[in-house]
Amino acid sequence: MRVPFMDLSKIHKPIRAEITEAINEVVNKGDFILGGKVGEFEKEFSAYCGCKFGIGVSSGTDAIFLAVKALGIGPGDEVLVPANTFIATALGVTFAGAAPILVDADPLNYNINLENIEKKITAKTKAIIPVHLYGQPVAMDRISALATKHGLKVIEDACQAHGAAYKGKKTGSFGDIGCFSFYPAKNLGAFGDGGMVVTNDENLYNKIRILRAYGSEKKYVHDEIGYNMRLDTMHAAVLSVKLKYLDSWNEQRNAAAKKYDELLRGTEFGIFQTVRDAYHVYHLYVIRSRRRDELSKYLGENGIGTTIHYPIPIHKTGAYKYLGHKDGDFPVVDKFSGEIISLPMFPGITDEEIEYVARTLKNFK
């Protein structure tokens, strides 16, 4: 048996006609840049998240950058970021000229360690970016309480958590700003790069809308330095079709994860706990093994696709070497980055496939 790490054809095949029709409509209209579909999808997606406003942007990275920028954060400011996240969370802060300050992970769920946040707050700290890593919501009431106590802004990195919820409220709707990526492999993915910023703050909405389009509200009137960071109309059309299926795809991911949990509980492999009161949408299903590299090779030889999210933590990348951290500064991330491995996870993965992966894991000698 072969089980790929991911198989997008499983979700695209059944809705191919619908997607083709949506693309054709954009071609027929010819409104490729900020066309009608962008505004429609902004409304649909922000409403889905429980937010008043949405701004379609060019990627998740750009969403984070524009969020930091719109909050007036820049040189001399510090922004708290988890040490285990995709590098883009930190890049968004860096692009704005501010400094990302890393916080170690919680060993139970691998999200940002809530106990370590306060120690990292200084007079320069302006914001915190909780990342709903792997699709698992951060306990946002704790983040909001810390933010209120210290006067910090909250930018949620929900790039892996479309449709996830904490205490019944969707991720992206807790902070001042929520950021999403529509990179093809995400729970809601475009046919290329794309992203969205969501907010309930009309002032931030207007700022980000202007920043994403050359700093202009009215065509050829440029009152500030802006960027070209727009969501393409073609992607908005595809995403609008796919959004209708997101909840059912997330349910399938959630059910697959429950099955993995069941089959792997009590084995030598480390399983992460789910945060209480959270609806986890399992962008990734990650386990731990002390012999990770051997395991990865073994699974590959048995036809099972895996990847690692992420093998090199931010503080050990060449890009962020300048932060001056050393081994042991983030004990949980330093240890776990050598142990984590992401198993096959996608809507449409069958029980037989999950059973094969679990059986193969149990036969690992």
- The footprint of ligand PLP (CB under 6 A) covers 59-61, 85-86, 88-89, 131, 157, 159-160, 181, 183, 193, 195
Closer of 85 and 125 to ligand PLP (Cβ): 85
Nearest-approach distance from CB 7 to ligand PLP, in angstroms: 19
Closer of 231 and 264 to ligand PLP (Cβ): 231
Closer of 49 and 264 to ligand PLP (Cβ): 49
CB-CB contact of 309 with 340 (8 Å): yes
Return phi, psi of residue 37, to 5°.
-65, -30
User: How many Å apart are CA 58 and CA 36, to the nearest integer?
Assistant: 16
Nearest-approach distance from CB 186 to ligand PLP, in angstroms: 6
Return phi, psi of residue 48, to 5°.
-60, -40
Closer of 59 and 252 to ligand PLP (Cβ): 59
Closer of 183 and 249 to ligand PLP (Cβ): 183
For 66-88, b where at least 16 C-beta lie within 10 A, e where not — what string? bbbbbbebeeebbbbbbbbbbbb
User: How many Å apart are CA 1 and CA 8, to the nearest integer?
Assistant: 18
Nearest-approach distance from CB 172 to ligand PLP, in angstroms: 12
Nearest-approach distance from CB 187 to ligand PLP, in angstroms: 10
Residue 113 DSSP label: -
Q: Which residue is nearest to ligand PLP (CB)?
A: 60
Nearest-approach distance from CB 58 to ligand PLP, in angstroms: 8
> Is the peptide bond preceding residue 260 cis, with omega within 30 degrees of 0?
no
CB-CB contact of 174 with 154 (8 Å): yes
Nearest-approach distance from CB 30 to ligand PLP, in angstroms: 26
Closer of 176 and 353 to ligand PLP (Cβ): 176
User: How many Å apart are CA 44 and CA 125, to the nearest integer?
Assistant: 34
